[in-house]
Every structure is written in structure tokens, then in C-alpha cells.
């Protein structure tokens, strides 16, 4: 399996395995051409071998023929010498026929071998009863010229040797149906008389007699059989390989389709082999925060929380025993150290000859974070409700006391005026408490959501009267996971700066920066700042020049999702509020405003 974004299967991409047409690849064409070339080379070899066997048989047989005609020539020479020299005979025609009958006619090689004797200008055996009349009285050359129309050929060399009394070997064709006839001849010269004695045998008979036909037939049959078997095996392999390739192509295309589906699935998908991560889709990469090369091939337990490790091992044992889909909740450690809360659905499946685990993951981190935030908000609401009711009840008691004193001392105008002033102040505080209850009742009603800081600030600025004060913002591209009342936090901080920054304040600056995985959002001004003795009580409920509820409420809104706020400015140099957002509750955004 590969580390790429697709499922772990890789198709052949080299030229040798390139698909040409319907499963036929380049190497199929090359191998087929090589096989055909081997067949041609085999045909050439077997043909050359058969020709060599034939040449050897012919050469050996011609030597035998030559020895026979030489022996016959010696006998004819001796007989002619005795008849012409010793006995002074001059009837050469009769002597020729006696030579033919005594020494030539008895020679028979194989079934159709013929012996013959020619003079340069006539045929000695033309008095034979089976000799064609049209050939009588003619020379060998003339007879072959007449026979050419019937298919005679390749006799020129033999005719020339007969005309010039030369010994030789060769072949000729007398009749096409008889085929080649292998011949040997030698001259006989006595005084002024010359004859040529020859012997010829049809080539097929020679090859049969010498075993050459059987040899060439056997080698040809063996070659054809070998080529046939090799051809059957080769083309069976070729067909099988083409079908296998087509099957692989179908499988690859199917896997690519499923890979595209899996890789573009909105939820993380993993393939594990013996706890090793073989594949993770794009959604998994994005959720984990790891580059693909840092997670593929690694042990899955390197990324799980301790509780998740134990649950995962138990689930694997259950799958091995029951062969069913296991479902459980597990914590996954992101690259930034945050924890992904996941619902895991895993099943063991066969894949390319091994058993792997297909894991489908549902990210419930946001849901759990929202649930935790709602629980925190509800707890705070219950606490605040009790405190606020207690405060209102106390103030009403005080107010009732002022009214009773004023009624009992109606004649004391100074006391009544003082009591009236105190009652008005108490009423104002009560009004603030009632307004505060509206604010904190809204807190936690809606689930926390991801909010872009820049957008939050942009929404509240038009609602504030800033006068000549500059509002400066740096890079505010991050998103934070917070209660929808986050706007109220920034509104309170900016409003407090505008109210209490003093005449020397000219600017309020809002910036962000990351630190040790946390995000620090700073809201600071260049006004009078906050006294050191007030800093410790700054976020307490009721502390402050107005109702003392704005900073308290801001702290409670932020705390719902684990965000803290502190004041770190220097008295006389301006107030500085730092909002610290922990890892997992914020995320950076790109230039397009989308989370990275």
C-alpha cells in the first residue's frame, strides 16, 4: 500500500506494461514477436538440418555410384581393349552392345536405379526394345532437348561432361513425376573410341534407403510437435495474462472509484494492517493535523489516548472472536496536542491476500465540547441565578428599610432627603441587577460555535461611540469556539476603555498571537490604566464604578469553553486585557477566511 491519497494499489505505469488494446500490453506484443521469431529460426534450423542430412545422403550415395561406374568402366575398358587390340575386331557397334549387356545392364541400384552408356554422338542402349523410337539415332543432348517439353531439366552439366569425356556427379530431372535423379558418370576411352558410363537413382529412393527420409521426418515431426506444445502453452499463458490484466484493470478501476468515494468522504476513514496505518483519507488528514507522511505506516496506538488504547484492544479481540462490526468511543491525539473525540466503527475484511481493519470515524469533538460547555453554562446559570436572587432580595430589604424609615420620620426633611437619595441608588442597583439577569440568562441558551474574531469585532464597532479614539486591529484571522455572547465580551472591554481610559487615551488596539499552542487575544489602550490594588478584584461580581457586572459577565461567557481573561497592563500606561484561548478551542484561518 502506498502513502498517496488513493487506496493502496498501484497500476503498472512503465512502457513495457502499457495497455495497447483490451488488455493487450506492449510486452505481450514483444513476447509474441519473439515467439514467432523463434518459430522462424526453428524452421530455418530444421530446414538447414534436413538439407544437410539430404546433402550428406546424396553425397555418400553419389560416391557409391561413382565407384560402381568406375568399376564398370574398368571392365568395359579391358573388354574393349581385348576385342579391338588383341582380337583386332572393328565392329564397334557390336562391341558397344556386348559391353552394355555384359557390364551395364546388370547394374541395378535400389528398385529404380538405372545404368546407362552414352557415346558423344549416340546412345549405346537405343536398340533396347523399351527405348522410344523418336530417340533412336540421336545423341544424349538431342534426346534431352526433346524431353524438355515433358519436364526434363538440369541435364546440361552431365551432357557437357559426356560430350567432353569428363567424370562427374550431379542430378537431373527426366520426368517431373520421378523427381530428381542422382547420377554419377565416368568416361571410358580406348584408342579413338570414347563412351561415358553412368548410374542414376531417384532421390526419394536414396533418402529412404539411407534413412535420411526417416531422420528428416522425425526431426520435422518433433519440431512441429514441440512448436505446437510451446504454442499452446504460450498462447494459453498469453490469453490468461490478458484476462488477468483485464481483471486487474476492472479491479483497479473499481478500487479507484471506491478510493475516490472513500478519499472524498466527509468523515475520516482508516485502513489498518496489524495496527499499522496503511491508508488515511483526506478528511482524516485534515482532522488529525498531521502530514500524510507522518501518519501512514505508523502504529495507530501512537496516536491514541490511554483509555482509547485499552478500548481499541478489547474491540479488536471481540472482532476476532465474533467477526462483527465493533463500535466504541476513542480519543485521538492531534498533532497540535488537542484530542479528537471519535465514534469508531471497525470491521475486519480481506484485502489483497491479508486481513485488514476498515475503520470509519465520526468526529464528535464539537458535540462533546458543546455538551461540556452547556453543562458549564447551566452550572454557572444556576449559581448566578441563586446569587442574583439573593442580591435582589437583599437590595429589596434595604429599599424597604429606607421606605419604612422615611415614613416613620416624615417630619425630618433632611433625613427623608438622605433616605430618598439612598433609595434611588438602591433602585438603580436593582435595575442593573435585573438587566444583568437578562444577559446571563442568554448565556448558555445556544450551543457554542466557531466565530471569526475579525468578524466579531467588525460587528460591534458600529454599535459603539468611539469619538476621536482610534480602533486599531492587527491580524484577527483566527476562529475561536465560544458562546454566541462573545460579542458582548469585546463590546464590554472596548466600552470600559472608552468610559474609563481618561482624556489621555487616543487608541485602542486589538491583536492576536499564538503562544505554546494557545491563542492570546489582546485588547489594550493607552489611557490611565488600572490601579494595582484594583486588579485582583477586577472580575468580581459587583466590583466597579458602574454596576460591576460587565467584566464579571465577560469572564463567565469565556469560561464556558475554557477561555480565560486577565488584566496585565501597567498603571498610568493603559489597560491591557489578555484573552487566552487553549489549544483545541481555536484554529487558524487562511487568507480566504476558511479554517486551515
| Cell numbers describing residue 293 | 507522511
What's the longest Cα–Cα distance across the chain?
Answer: 206
How confident is the model at residue 522, as a pLDDT?
A: 95
How confident is the model at residue 12, as a pLDDT?
A: 47
- Counting runs of H as helices and runs of E as strands, what totals does the chain give? 14, 19
The closest alpha carbon to 479, from 553, 405, 585, belongs to 585
Asked if residue 485 lies in contact with residue 443, where contact means CB atoms within 8 angstroms, the answer is: yes
**For residue 69, how many other CB atoms are within 10 A of its CB?**
29
Asked if residue 138 lies in contact with residue 132, where contact means CB atoms within 8 angstroms, the answer is: no
Measure the CA–CA gap between 460 and 466, rounded to whole angstroms.
11
CATH number of 42-213: 3.30.450.20
Domain 448-596 has CATH 3.20.20.190: no
List the chain domain ranges: 42-213, 265-363, 364-447, 448-596
Rounded to 5 degrees, φ, ψ at 575 are: -85, 150
pTM of the predicted model as reported, rounded to 2 decimal places: 0.45
Q: Which residues of the chain have pLDDT under 70?
A: 1-23, 248, 250-259, 261, 323, 352, 369-395, 429-445, 542-549, 596
Q: Do domains 42-213 and 265-363 have the same CATH topology?
A: yes
Sign of CA dihedral 323, 328, 334, 340: positive
How confident is the model at residue 531, as a pLDDT?
A: 83
Cα–chain center distance at 29: 24
How confident is the model at residue 56, as a pLDDT?
A: 92
How confident is the model at residue 102, as a pLDDT?
A: 92
Three-state SS for 407?
Answer: helix
Which burial class, exposed, middle or buried, applies to 411 when counting CB atoms under 10 A from its CB (0-12, 13-18, 19+)?
A: exposed
Place of cell 537431373: 172
Query: Which string of b and e fits 465-485 if b means at least 16 CB within 10 Å?
Result: eeeebeeeeeebbbbbbbbbb
Asked if residue 527 lies in contact with residue 501, where contact means CB atoms within 8 angstroms, the answer is: yes
**For residue 577, how many other CB atoms are within 10 A of its CB?**
25
Close Cβ partners of 469 (under 8 Å, ≥ 6 residues apart): 497, 498, 501, 505, 506, 507, 508
Instruction: Identify the CATH assignment for 364-447 out of 3.40.50, 1.10.3210, 1.10.287, 1.10.15.
Output: 1.10.287
Measure the CA–CA gap between 241 and 254, rounded to whole angstroms.
19
Helix H or strand E segment including 218: helix 212-263
How confident is the model at residue 397, as a pLDDT?
A: 80
The CATH architecture to which 265-363 belongs is 2-Layer Sandwich (3.30)
DSSP per position, 526-584: SSS---HHHHTTTTSTT-SSS-S-HHHHHHHHHHTTT-EEEE--BTTTB-EEEEEE-TT
How confident is the model at residue 35, as a pLDDT?
A: 83
The closest alpha carbon to 103, from 120, 132, 121, 83, belongs to 83
Beta-bridge partners for 449: 482
Amino acid at each position: 500500500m502506498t502513502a498517496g491519497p488513493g487506496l493502496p494499489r498501484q497500476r503498472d505505469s512503465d512502457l513495457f506494461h502499457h495497455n495497447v488494446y483490451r488488455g493487450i500490453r506492449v510486452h505481450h506484443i514483444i513476447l509474441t514477436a519473439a515467439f514467432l521469431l523463434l518459430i522462424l529460426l526453428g524452421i530455418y534450423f530444421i530446414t538447414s538440418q534436413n538439407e544437410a542430412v539430404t546433402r550428406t545422403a546424396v553425397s555418400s550415395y553419389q560416391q557409391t555410384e561413382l565407384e560402381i561406374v568406375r568399376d564398370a568402366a574398368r571392365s568395359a575398358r579391358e573388354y574393349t581393349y581385348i576385342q579391338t587390340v588383341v582380337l583386332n575386331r572393328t565392329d564397334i557397334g557390336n562391341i558397344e552392345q556386348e559391353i552394355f549387356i555384359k557390364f551395364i545392364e546388370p547394374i541395378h541400384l535400389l528398385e529404380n536405379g538405372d545404368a546407362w552408356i552414352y557415346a558423344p554422338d549416340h546412345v549405346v542402349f537405343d536398340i533396347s526394345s523399351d527405348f522410344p523410337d523418336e530417340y533412336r539415332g540421336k545423341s544424349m543432348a538431342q534426346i534431352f532437348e526433346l524431353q524438355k517439353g515433358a519436364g526434363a531439366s538440369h541435364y546440361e552439366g552431365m551432357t557437357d561432361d559426356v560430350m567432353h569425356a569428363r567424370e562427374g556427379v550431379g542430378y537431373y530431372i527426366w520426368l517431373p513425376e520421378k523427381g530428381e535423379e542422382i547420377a554419377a558418370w565416368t568416361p571410358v576411352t580406348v584408342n579413338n573410341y570414347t563412351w561415358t558410363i553412368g548410374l542414376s537413382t531417384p532421390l526419394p529412393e536414396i533418402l529412404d534407403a539411407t534413412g535420411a527420409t526417416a531422420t528428416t521426418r522425425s526431426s520435422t515431426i518433433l519440431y512441429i510437435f514441440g512448436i505446437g506444445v510451446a504454442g499452446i502453452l504460450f498462447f494459453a499463458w498469453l490469453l490468461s495474462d490478458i484476462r488477468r490484466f483485464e481483471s486487474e484493470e476492472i479491479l483497479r478501476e473499481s478500487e479507484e472509484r471506491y478510493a475516490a468515494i472513500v478519499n472524498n468522504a466527509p468523515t475520516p476513514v482508516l485502513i489498518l494492517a496489524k495496527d499499522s496505518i496503511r491508508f488515511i483519507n483526506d478528511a482524516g488528514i485534515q482532522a488529525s493535523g498531521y502530514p500524510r507522511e507522518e501518519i501512514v505506516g505508523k502504529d495507530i496506538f501512537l496516536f491514541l489516548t490511554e483509555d482509547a488504547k485499552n478500548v481499541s484492544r478489547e474491540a479488536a479481540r471481540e472482532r476476532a472472536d465474533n467477526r462483527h462490526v465493533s463500535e466504541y468511543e476513542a480519543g485521538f491525539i492531534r498533532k497540535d496536542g488537542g484530542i479528537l473525540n471519535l465514534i469508531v466503527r471497525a470491521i475486519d475484511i480481506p484485502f489483497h491476500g491479508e486481513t485488514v481493519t476498515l475503520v470509519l470515524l465520526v468526529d464528535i469533538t464539537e458535540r462533546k465540547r458543546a455538551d461540556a460547555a452547556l453543562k458549564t453554562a447551566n452550572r454557572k446559570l444556576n449559581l448566578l441565578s441563586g446569587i442574583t436572587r439573593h442580591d435582589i432580595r437583599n437590595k429589596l430589604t434595604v429599599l424597604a428599610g429606607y421606605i419604612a424609615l422615611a415614613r416613620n420620620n416624615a417630619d425630618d426633611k433632611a433625613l427623608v432627603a438622605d433616605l430618598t437619595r439612598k433609595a434611588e441608588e438602591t433602585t438603580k442597583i436593582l435595575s442593573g441587577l435585573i438587566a444583568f439577569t437578562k444577559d446571563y440568562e442568554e448565556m448558555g441558551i445556544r450551543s457554542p460555535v466557531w466565530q471569526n474574531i475579525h468578524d466579531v469585532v467588525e460587528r460591534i464597532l458600529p454599535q459603539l461611540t468611539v469619538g476621536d479614539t482610534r480602533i486599531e486591529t492587527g491580524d484577527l484571522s483566527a476562529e475561536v469556539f465560544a458562546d454566541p455572547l462573545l460579542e458582548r465580551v469585546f463590546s464590554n472591554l472596548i466600552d470600559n476603555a472608552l468610559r474609563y481610559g481618561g482624556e489621555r487615551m487616543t487608541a485602542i488596539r486589538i491583536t492576536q498571537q499564538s503562544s505554546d499552542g494557545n491563542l492570546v487575544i489582546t485588547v489594550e489602550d493607552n489611557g490611565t490604566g488600572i490601579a494595582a490594588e484594583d486588579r485582583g478584584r477586577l472580575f468580581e461580581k459587583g466590583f466597579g464604578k458602574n454596576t460591576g457586572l460587565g467584566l464579571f459577565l465577560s469572564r463567565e461567557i469565556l469560561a464556558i469553553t475554557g477561555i480565560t481573561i486577565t488584566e496585565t497592563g501597567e498603571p498610568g500606561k493603559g489597560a491591557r486585557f489578555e484573552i487566552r484561548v487553549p489549544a483545541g478551542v481555536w484554529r487558524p484561518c487562511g487568507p480566504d477566511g476558511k479554517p486551515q
